[in-house]
Structure 1
Amino acid sequence: MLEETQFLRIAQSLPLLQLANQALLEEFKQATFFARIPAGRDVFLEGDRVEAIALLISGVVRVYKVGETGREITLYRFGNGSSCILTANAILSQNTFPAIATVEQDAEAIMVPADKFREWIQRYDLWREFVFELLSQRLSKVMEVIEEVAFHRMDRRVAALLFRQAKMKNPLRITHQ
């Protein structure tokens, strides 16, 4: 259960809550809980059972796959005001998590239990629209990753990454290895 001060802070980070009706708001306060997740922690490993979905209010989570050779591919990252579509999919399909999700920057999240997540999709149009919009946005990002890997040369992908990072003024710590 969320305390009122936590809820007020969270409502500013999640536009969904600013549009929700009173019934959804009350259920949200009762059913959800606050979590701090430190950088470096795996939220899910491939094959994990999903009990709740995190709505991030701060931090960044990387979702990726690891091949048999140990090579990794980042599917997407998500941050403030967003969530993980693979978690949503695992909850809706009642399957296990199909990738790895690791916190890259210390995160604060609101955790929505899986049963409430499913129930609210059926009961609240606003919640359902939020989930479908999330799925749509993230699927587009995954398609961009597939397109880049399949159709663009490595040197151009690296140059584009460096350019994006420079524009965002994010430090990039890498080596040649």
Structure 2
Amino acid sequence: MCDTMDLPFETYLPVWNKLTAAQRQQISGSTARRTVKKGTILHNGSMDCTGLLIVKSGQLRAYILSEAGREITLYRLFDLDICLFSASCIMRSIQFEVTIEAEKDTDLLVIPAKIYKGIMEESAPAANFTNEIMASRFSEVMWLLEQILWKSFDKRLAGFLLEESALEGTDFLRITHEIIGSHLGNPREVVTRMLRYFQSEGMVRLSRGTVEILDRGKLHGLCTE
């Protein structure tokens, strides 16, 4: 359990000042700080309800896994983002299994699901705040669905490479074709074929475990056509 002086909750929970003193004490007295390494699975359908995760620093990935073992990224979580799906036991209407993985070394605050559920049942501001987060996440999932249904794979891949470049602050991406496929929900072989096409068009340069962006303009033009 953390020293409450190390947790400026108003920074992480915008609803903090609308809670009662007793509710704030419940949260500050039960919240734990957790540091995880890249690749750590924080939650999946077979695990207990992990609790409400708040990203202090780092990066998480939420994805679903098909029966055939294929992954597709639903959304990512960055500094100050809140993960509700890790506390899905407080939202019985959620019927699908989401896996939460650390994409980078990540520093987290973990509010126990039981504590947060009790406060949410007592506090209209907390309930409204939770619903806003959930609506935002579902909007991201719906956006993803639209991309899969209506955008060709070359456009989705171009957009993904540009997004990765922005996140990492470099055009030299240390990422495998398999990992790209996991994000986009496509087999590695499909990713490899399209990347080789991009390379033949001078948009990227490929080497083992890396993709270097050579022509951002062409990629941007492709994904916005």
TM-score bracket, shorter-length normalisation: 0.7 to 0.9
- Structure number with greater Rg is 2
Residue in 1 that maps onto 2:47 = 48
By how many angstroms is 1:74 displaced? Answer: 0.6
Instruction: Give distance in 2, aligned partners of 1:175 and 1:94.
Output: 36
Deviation string 1:75-126 (CA, Å, 9 cap, x unpaired) is: 1111222222322433332989712211011112221112111101111222
By how many angstroms is 1:140 displaced? Answer: 0.4
For residues 1-177 of structure 1, the aligned pairs below 5 Å read: 1-8=1-8, 10-17=9-16, 20-93=19-92, 98-168=97-167, 170-171=169-170, 172-175=173-176, 177=192
Long gaps (5+) in structure 2: 178-191, 193-225
Instruction: Give distance in 2, aligned partners of 1:58 and 1:14.
Output: 15
Q: TM-score, normalised by structure 2?
A: 0.68
Distance 1:161 1:16, change over 3 A: same
Instruction: Give distance in 2, aligned partners of 1:99 and 1:141.
Output: 14
Instruction: Give distance in 2, aligned partners of 1:131 and 1:123.
Output: 13
By how many angstroms is 1:135 displaced? Answer: 0.3
By how many angstroms is 1:149 displaced? Answer: 0.9
Moved more, 113-122 or 62-71: 62-71
Instruction: Give distance in 2, aligned partners of 1:85 and 1:159.
Output: 29
Long gaps (5+) in structure 1: none
Instruction: Give distance in 2, aligned partners of 1:7 and 1:61.
Output: 20
By how many angstroms is 1:69 displaced? Answer: 2.8
The 3-state SS of whatever aligns with 1:122 is: helix
Opposite residue 79 of structure 1, the aligned amino acid is F
Instruction: Give distance in 2, aligned partners of 1:41 and 1:51.
Output: 13
The 3-state SS of whatever aligns with 1:55 is: strand
Distance 1:26 1:42, change over 3 A: same
Moved more, 27-36 or 85-94: 85-94
Opposite residue 5 of structure 1, the aligned amino acid is M
Deviation string 1:36-58 (CA, Å, 9 cap, x unpaired) is: 12211000133222142212211
RMSD between aligned alpha carbons?
2.5
Q: Name which structure has the greater RCO, CA cutoff 8 Å, separation 6+.
A: 1
Instruction: Give distance in 2, aligned partners of 1:96 and 1:105.
Output: 28
Equivalent residue pairs, number: 176
